[in-house]
Amino acid sequence: MIGLSQEGFAALTPVRQALRAAAEKQAGLFRDDARIQARALLDGAKAEAAAILAAAVGEGEAAARSEAALRSARARRQAHELVLVQRNNLRLELHRRVRQAAAGLTSDPRYPLLLGRLTEQCRELLGPDAMVTEGREGGVIAEAGSRRLDISLPVLAEMALDTVPGVSELWSR
């Protein structure tokens, strides 16, 4: 390859400079454009990230709220059930004591009269041939064929507790 002469090289200098200036200008434009695009992309990405974050926060808060509501509901239910169980224990204790007290009525002077009346009731319901015996815990037990009537004192006590109005208030207050 034959190199340019000194004069020729010098004559091309303005062309080279013009080309270089144009290239630099073009590069500058590209750079600015790229910066703008990069900024726009970055802004878009940041906005999208913020939106995703906000949505995630929203969903997380909603999930946490419903989880908290669920936990508090379960805790409240457990607490309520504890109260209910205690009330039931009170009721069972009352029944136990009333049954116990009823068994003690056998020494009451009015007991023979009661026994007589209960025997009458048995015969009225099961017929005159019913076999009536005194129960172990007081009261009577009658049998006629396959039919049986248990009106022992504990059974009577349970019946009384079930029918006396306002008894439930003793444990539900």
Partner 1 sequence: MTRPDADADGSALPVPPSTGFAALVSHGDVRELRGPLLVAGGIEGVGWDEFATIDMDGGERRHGLVLEIDHDLATVQVLESTDGMSLGGIRIRFEGRPLHIPVGAGWLGRVCNGRGEPLDGGPPIAGTATLPVSGWPLNPVYREPPQEPVLTGISVVDGLTTLVRGQKLPIFSVPGLPHLTLATQIAAQATSGGRSFRVVFAAMGLTHADIAYVRDRLEERSAGGELVLLLNAADDPVIERILTPRIALTIAEHLAYAEDHDVLVIMSDMTSYAEAVREVSAARREIPARRGYPGYLYSDLATLYERCGRAKGHHGSVTIVPVVTMPAGDITHPVPDLTGYITEGQIVLAPGIAARGIYPPVDVLSSLSRLMRSGAGENRTREDHLDVAAQVLAAMARARQATELAELIGAGALSETDRSYIQYRTSVEKGLFNQGRDENRTLDDTLDRAWEALSALPENELTMVSTAFLKRYLPARDDRS
Residue 3 found at the interface with partner 1 (CB under 8 A): no
Q: Which residue in the block uniquely carries the two structure tokens 């172990």?
A: 136
Residue 18 found at the interface with partner 1 (CB under 8 A): no
Binding mask 79-98 for partner 1 (x = CB under 8 A): -xx--xx-xx--x-------
Torsion of CA 91, 95, 96, 100, to 10 degrees: 150
Distance CA 102, CA 160 (A): 11
Which residues 6+ apart lie within 8 Å of 157 measured at CB? 95, 98, 99, 101, 102
Distance CA 79, CA 5 (A): 104
Instruction: Rank residues 27 and 69 by Cβ distance to partner 1 and give the closer one.
Output: 69
Residue 145 found at the interface with partner 1 (CB under 8 A): yes
The binding site for partner 1 (CB under 8 A) comprises 66, 69-70, 73-74, 76-77, 80-81, 84-85, 87-88, 91, 105, 108-111, 113-114, 116-118, 121, 124-126, 145-151, 155-156, 159-160, 163, 167-168, 171-172
